[in-house]
Structure 1
C-alpha cells in the first residue's frame, strides 16, 4: 500500500517536509490586481461563483507593501509554530489574477517576496490567458533564485460548464499555457471545482482524468462554495440552483478523484475554506476538520488510496 506519512494521498504538507525538512506555512498575499473577467477585457461580472475578494478573502491587506504583508501574515500563523524564528514560508499571491499587471510592477512585487529571507517558495495564482512571453521570461528569471509555482484556474475541462460559469477562455488556451510552463521547467498546480452546476459525478471524473494525464505537479480539489454577493449565490437564493452536494456525496466524489490521480501528483487542497460570513451553502463545509476526518476514515474503511486506478505513468520533470 502506498502511504504518505500515514495519509492515503500525497499531501502538500508531506511534500514540503520532504523538500525542506520541516513544515512550511503558506502566507496569502495581495498584489492589488484585478481580473480580465472583471475589468471589461473579457467581462465585468467575474465568474459566477467568485466573491468580491477574487478568491483572496483570506489574503493580507493589499494596501501594505509586500514585505509588510509577509510580516503581518507571519504574525497570524505564529501561534501555530513551535519555533517561529526557524519557520519557512510560501509567498502565495492569491487574490484575483496575479500576472495581470505591467511587467515592471510584477517584477517589483515578486522580487520583493522571493528575496525575503523567510520565503522558500513563490506561488502565483493566475489565469492561463494572462501568461504572455514577458511574464514567462520573468518567471524563468525568478525561479533561478527560489522555486516558483504557478496555479492555474481550470475549474473544469467541459466547455459547456466553462461557458456557464463565465470562465472566459477555451480549453486550448489552458493546454497551450501548460505546455509553455512545462517546457520552461515551471511547476504547475491546477485548480478544479467539484460540484459545478449541471455537472455529474462522471463529468467531474473526466476532468480529473484529463488533469492526471497532463505534465503538472499538483492539483487543488475545491468544493463549490455558494457565497453571498455572487451570481451563483443569487441563483441559489432565488431557487434557480439547489443541487448542492451533501458531505457524503462530496466524500464519494473526492475519493474517486484521488483514486484516479497519480501518486506523484501533490494534493494542495481537498475542500477549501469559504468565508463563513459569506457562505450560503453547503453549511457542512464550514467544518473543514470534520470534512478531512470523514475523508480519512472513509478511505481507511475502503482500503483505498491515491493512484489506485491510475499508476504513475506521466513524463514530468518537476514532480
Structure 2
C-alpha cells in the first residue's frame, strides 16, 4: 500500500526499530577496491573520491575502536536526541580482503557497546558465500545492513566508469544477500556522461524488480583530482547537470512509480564545494530534503501513488 507521507525514509525504519533517531558513524577500515589493487583492474571508479565523503573524525590510521569513540562523540554533539549509532564501513570496498581480516574488522564493530549495528558498503563482485554466511549469523546478535554500489543499469556506463562489474552481477548479488536473510540497499548515481540524468528515473520498473530493502540515489558530482574531473575539464559539454526544479520534478515522478514497500535512504546529496568542479545548487542537504518534501506535498505526490 502506498504511503501518504511523501516517501518511506530509511531513517524511519531505524527509528521504528530502536524507538528514536539512529545515526551512522562512518568508519575507515583501511581496505581498498578490486578495481584499484589489480584484482580486476586499476585506477578505481573514475568518479570516486573517498576524501570528499570521509568525515574529519574518520582516519584510516586510527584503530576502529578509536574511530568509533571519536565518531560517536561527534555525532552525539551534533544529534543529542540520537538513541543509537550504526558503525558505517563506508570508504572503499568493505568485503574485499582476506576473510580473517574482514571478520576481525566486523567483530570490532559489532562487539563495541557504543554501537547498535553495522552497515557495510561494498560492491556486487566482492561477496563470497562464506562471508555472507558469517554476516548472516552475526546479524542474529546485532543488525547488519549491506549497502551495495549498483550505480547504473547500463553496462556501457559501468564499463566506461571503470566499475569492473555488470548490472547482471549486481542483480544477482542483491538476490544472494537477500537469500542470506540480510537487508540490502542499492546505491545509484544520476547523470553520468553519456547517460542522460533522466534515464535513471525512467528506469523505475527495472528498479522495482530488484528485491532491495532500500534505495539511495544522488546526482553525479565531479570530484577534483579524479579521471572524471579530467574528462569534465576537456569536454564539459558531455556533462548535463539538472536544475533543482527539473530534478525535483523528475524525482517526484520516479517516487510516484516506485514500489511502495521500498525504503528511500536518499534522493540527492550535497558535497562541500571545495571538492567538486560541477555547478552546485548552493543548498544544504537538510534544506533540500525539506524543500523536496514540501514540493511533493504541494503536488499531492507520494511514493507508489502510480505504482502498478
| Aligned residues of 2:229 and 2:277 also touching (Cα < 8 A) | yes
Whole-angstrom CA distance in 2 between matches of 1:170 and 1:2: 31
Q: Aligned match of 1:185 in 176, 181, 186?
A: 181
The residue that corresponds to 1:273 in the other structure is 270
Q: TM-score, normalised by structure 2?
A: 0.92
The residue that corresponds to 1:146 in the other structure is 142
The residue that corresponds to 2:17 in the other structure is 19
Q: Aligned match of 2:109 in 109, 113, 118?
A: 113
Q: Aligned match of 2:241 in 240, 244, 250?
A: 244
Comparing 293-302 with 127-136, greater Cα deviation is found at: 293-302
How many residue pairs get matched? 307
Give runs of aligned pairs for residues 1-319 of structure 1, distance below 5 A: 3=3, 7-53=5-51, 56=54, 60-82=58-80, 87-200=83-196, 203-240=199-236, 241-284=238-281, 287-310=284-307
Comparing 261-270 with 95-104, greater Cα deviation is found at: 261-270
The residue that corresponds to 1:314 in the other structure is none
* CA offset digits 1:55-77 (Å, max 9, x no partner): 54667111111111111011211
| Aligned residues of 2:197 and 2:241 also touching (Cα < 8 A) | no
Shift of 1:226: 1.1
The residue that corresponds to 1:317 in the other structure is none
| Aligned residues of 2:8 and 2:263 also touching (Cα < 8 A) | yes
Higher relative contact order (CA 8 A, sep 6+): 2
Gaps of 5+ in 2: none
| SS of residue matched to 2:12 | helix
Q: TM-score, normalised by structure 1?
A: 0.89
Whole-angstrom CA distance in 1 between matches of 2:207 and 2:278: 27
Q: Which runs of 4+ in 1 moved over 3 A?
A: 1-4, 52-59, 81-84, 239-242
Whole-angstrom CA distance in 2 between matches of 1:166 and 1:280: 20
Shift of 1:168: 0.8
Comparing 196-205 with 96-105, greater Cα deviation is found at: 196-205
* CA offset digits 1:136-180 (Å, max 9, x no partner): 122122112111111111111111211221211122211221121
| Aligned residues of 2:85 and 2:116 also touching (Cα < 8 A) | yes
